[in-house]
């Protein structure tokens, strides 16, 4: 990295960006579906579970909804891959159990881990911003095939602590939480153009990650830098570049 430039704050999305959507929908989603009812019935004292159950009842407008009705709502969102915050909160609780027990492992595209390590070693600070809850992120990055990647990261953001991913104020909230007044020092990598647009509106630099086979591949990332691999992203200058 050139001495003339301050390091970047690199913020990565997960699904479609660091990791294959297919892996998440085929391995993790069925696992959560299998465990919703048990976790709601047996871990109701866990603040995450209690908060998620209350949020589902509020979202469906049924203050007295029991487990069966809550699970029905969760499964409907899951079927549509709707990133409802209480769904993501409960999935985080359930996946944390699965990663802890060894039933689940995470997936990263082959270019991702070496590049994250290199960026960290070069002095850039790394963050995650995903619809996946912070507890899901900790479990995911904590259990890669190459061991825990958590020491690489300086913070984790989701739709609860930052807000929805398609609006600029969420990116401003992350910048405030990081304590960085210069928006141009943030580089956001995502597969979804709406998220990239929102980050750019907040003054961030953006890199669209288009990996063949991913659901948003055909939508493209018009107006943003574009790459099919983290290995092509050069952070050595004041602005990111794709080589
Ligand atoms: C292991 S994190 C869970 C991934 C997930 O459930 C999700 O919705 C990710 O969406 P993203 O915002 O990372 O595209
Ligand atoms: Mg994504």
For 189-222, how does the pLDDT look when each residue is reduced to its tens digit (9 = 90+)?
A: 999 999 999 999 999 999 999 999 999 999 999 9
Secondary structure letter of residue 163 according to DSSP:
-
Residue 2 is predicted with a pLDDT of 45
With left for phi above 0 and alpha for psi between -120 and 50, is residue 224 left, alpha or beta?
beta
ipTM: 0.97
Ligand 1, residues at Cβ distance < 6 Å: 13-16, 24, 83, 88, 91, 130-132, 136-137, 140, 165
Q: Give the mutation target among 11, 12, 14 for probing the ligand 1 site: most ligand atoms within 8 A of CB.
A: 14
Q: Assign 6 a pLDDT band (cuts: 50, 70, 90).
A: confident
With b for 16 or more beta-carbon neighbours within 10 A and e for fewer, the 206-243 pattern comes to bbbbbbeebebeeeebeebbbbbebeebebeeeebeee
**Residue 226 neighbours by CB under 8 Å, 6+ apart:** 207, 208, 210, 220, 242
Q: Where in the sequence of the chain do the CATH 1.10.720 domains occur?
A: 23-101
Give the position, in ligand 1's atom list, of the atom nearest the Cα of 140. 1
Q: Whose CA is nearest to atom 5 of ligand 1?
A: 132
Q: Where in the sequence of the chain do the CATH 3.40.50.1000 domains occur?
A: 3-19+106-242
Please give the Cα distance from 104 to 140 (Å, whole number): 9
pTM: 0.94
Q: Confirm if 173 and 163 have CB atoms less than 8 A apart.
A: yes
Strand residues in the chain grouped as ranges (E): 9-12, 125-129, 153-157, 186-190, 205-209, 225-227, 233-234, 241-242
With a cut of 70, say whether residue 32 has pLDDT above it: yes
Please give the Cα distance from 213 to 32 (Å, whole number): 24
Q: Please give the angle made by the CA atoms of 234, 240 and 243, to the nearest 5 degrees.
A: 45
Among the four given CATH numbers 3.40.309.10, 3.40.50.1000, 3.40.50.720, 3.30.1370.60, the one describing domain 3-19+106-242: 3.40.50.1000
Please give the Cα distance from 149 to 139 (Å, whole number): 10
Does domain 23-101 fall under CATH 1.10.720? My reply is yes
Please give the Cα distance from 40 to 199 (Å, whole number): 35
Q: Which ligand is nearest to the CA of 14?
A: 1
pLDDT digits (tens, 9 = 90+) for 53-105: 999 999 999 999 999 999 999 999 999 989 999 999 999 999 999 999 999 99
Give the position, in ligand 1's atom list, of the atom nearest the Cα of 137. 2
With a cut of 80, say whether residue 3 has pLDDT above it: no
């Amino acid at each position: 990295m050139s001495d003339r430039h301050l390091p970047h704050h690199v913020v990565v999305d997960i699904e479609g960006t660091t990791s294959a959507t297919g892996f998440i929908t085929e391995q993790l989603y069925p696992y959560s579906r299998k465990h919703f009812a048990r976790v709601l019935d047996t871990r109701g004292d866990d603040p995450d579970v209690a908060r998620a159950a209350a949020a589902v009842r509020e979202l469906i407008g049924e203050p007295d909804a029991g487990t069966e009705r809550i699970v029905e709502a969760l499964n409907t969102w899951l079927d549509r891959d709707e990133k409802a915050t209480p769904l993501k909160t409960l999935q985080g609780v359930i996946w944390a159990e699965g990663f802890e027990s060894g039933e689940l492992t995470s997936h990263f595209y082959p270019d991702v881990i070496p590049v994250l390590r290199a960026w960290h070693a070069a002095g850039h600070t790394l963050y995650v911003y995903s619809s996946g809850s912070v507890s899901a992120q900790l479990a995911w990055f904590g259990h890669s095939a190459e061991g825990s990647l958590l020491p690489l990261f300086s913070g984790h953001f989701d739709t609860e602590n930052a807000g929805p991913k398609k609006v600029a104020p969420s990116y401003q909230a992350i910048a405030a939480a990081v304590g960085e007044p210069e928006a141009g020092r943030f580089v956001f990598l995502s597969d979804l153009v709406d998220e990239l647009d929102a980050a750019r509106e907040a003054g961030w630099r953006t890199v669209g990650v288009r990996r063949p086979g991913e659901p948003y591949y055909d939508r493209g990332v018009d107006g943003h830098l574009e790459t099919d691999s983290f290995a092509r992203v050069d952070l050595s200058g004041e602005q990111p570049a794709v080589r």
